[in-house]
Structure 1
């Protein structure tokens, strides 16, 4: 009887906290709005200080070509953001590009040309543009450990994924690729918990405590794009690397020496064509 009365009381308590259909409920205040920052923001600021990204820059397509989709109770969607190109266009302005033209959506331009409001040759031509793709997303086998004695004990689980992308810097006058980079990053997540499930006399007590950390995938993608822009420009302008490498050394796990040598070999062959940059 006591259990029934307790359940009824709990039901009335819950119903008292729920507003009627004709009343707005109070909305909770969450964390404040803020600008998205990464450890590589200082790197772009350093590139901007060199004032070496001369000419007119644009961003083409940077596509998600991983082919991976997420399916859960909230709906279907891709693991990787579809806005990598827009991220890169913002990065061009932060990196101090002399001029940035918007080629992300040509429809407004085409519309005004078709309506006779503007002439096609009135728009500023690009000198350089960036294209690429996010082309790998691999989920790695994780590690797990669990210990239980008499139904009581801790557990730990680790998850990892590898994201990879390729970026190309192209001379718009000749369509020659003057710098190319490929970058990968491991995304890390972990979970830890403590469980208790046992009888105390005739009473079963079941208790579970969980916590975890997960590195934001899309914020990591932004970091990769920032680093990729720096690498493409510094490959053909060694003075940028000399001035800004110290910021890289403050971030762990970003420099692959073997790949750097490959990129430097590639861009040395194309350095003549990039002399105007």
Structure 2
């Protein structure tokens, strides 16, 4: 029984460790979205955001979860809000709004059903998916060890891709589609010192790892896709420095086979 007893609790709580403050969640493309807010125009389109699913099929077995964020829909909603040029209506999770209406119909709220009035319809619906997560596009490095003493460095490049489409709510046509990818870079420098003491191997590892966060890459792709929708599709003027970087990897590859 004594083994199951608990020790005395401290009279005062432990002081929590506090490191970095809470900050806003910005990417390099957030500035591009913010420039749209200052543009003139009040006839704002109404957007609804549907599911932006993770269709990469990638599972992180080391951490027993998905490799990519499952919050891409919320990222699109946040990106639209940053533009200041879109009104939004909820269509992704209607459980609470519909429950409110149902309770009002049953007379269980202090608001009558007539007070809800005419609900606004959307002009456009955004849906899509994360479609690619490719590891080891480039993986290179070097290591040198002499008698157990040495060091090394390596780089890794992976990419994520997003396919997003605009649906016209009036006729269900698809007037605009964007397909974007972003490469994500990782760099590691390490210096390892190995020594044997009897039969025991002791390793001292000192190094530095600098990796671009994978989920930040997803948010960056999302924000650039929304920026394209607001400029290429809706016709808002683009800002210098916010142009999409276009590549021709396949064209360059095919040139190798030309006679």
Scaled by the length of structure 1, the TM-score of the pair is 0.74
Q: Does 1:55 align with 2:52?
A: no
Q: 1:199 to 1:134 in 2, by over 3 A?
A: closer
- Please name the residue that 1:135 is paired with: 131
- Please name the residue that 1:256 is paired with: 246
CA shift, 1:61, in A, is 0.8
Q: Partner of 1:176: helix, strand, or coil?
A: coil
Q: Residues 99-127 of structure 1: CA distance to partner in whole angstroms, max 9, x if unpaired?
A: 21122211122223333153687211101
Give structure 2 stretches of 5+ with no counterpart: 1-6, 106-111, 250-259
Q: Does 1:69 align with 2:65?
A: no
Q: Does 1:191 align with 2:191?
A: no
Q: Residues 11-54 of structure 1: CA distance to partner in whole angstroms, max 9, x if unpaired?
A: xxxxxxxxx66124332111111111111111001222234572
Question: Using the alignment, how far apart are the partners of 2:39 and 2:50 within structure 1?
Answer: 24
Question: Using the alignment, how far apart are the partners of 1:190 and 1:21 within structure 2?
Answer: 47
Question: Using the alignment, how far apart are the partners of 2:87 and 2:169 within structure 1?
Answer: 14
CA shift, 1:188, in A, is 1.4
Question: Using the alignment, how far apart are the partners of 1:51 and 1:229 within structure 2?
Answer: 19
Give structure 1 stretches of 5+ with no counterpart: 1-19, 260-277
Q: Please say if residues 49 and 127 of structure 2, whose CA atoms lie closer than 8 Å, have aligned partners that are also in contact.
A: yes
CA shift, 1:216, in A, is 0.9
Q: Where do residues 8-157 of structure 1 align in structure 2 (5 Å cutoff)?
A: 22-23=9-10, 24-51=13-40, 54-72=44-62, 75-115=63-103, 116=105, 118=113, 122-140=118-136, 142-157=139-154
Q: Please say if residues 47 and 125 of structure 2, whose CA atoms lie closer than 8 Å, have aligned partners that are also in contact.
A: yes
Q: Residues 229-272 of structure 1: CA distance to partner in whole angstroms, max 9, x if unpaired?
A: 1112222345523xx1x1326xxxx511669xxxxxxxxxxxxx
Q: Please say if residues 86 and 104 of structure 1, whose CA atoms lie closer than 8 Å, have aligned partners that are also in contact.
A: no
Question: Using the alignment, how far apart are the partners of 1:27 and 1:215 within structure 2?
Answer: 28
Q: Please say if residues 128 and 170 of structure 1, whose CA atoms lie closer than 8 Å, have aligned partners that are also in contact.
A: yes
CA RMSD of aligned residues (A): 2.8
Q: Partner of 1:247: helix, strand, or coil?
A: coil
Q: Partner of 2:17: helix, strand, or coil?
A: coil
Structure whose residues are more often helix by fraction? 1
Q: 1:224 to 1:25 in 2, by over 3 A?
A: same
Scaled by the length of structure 2, the TM-score of the pair is 0.79
User: How many residues are paired up?
Assistant: 231
- Please name the residue that 1:6 is paired with: none
2:222 to 222, 225, 231: 225
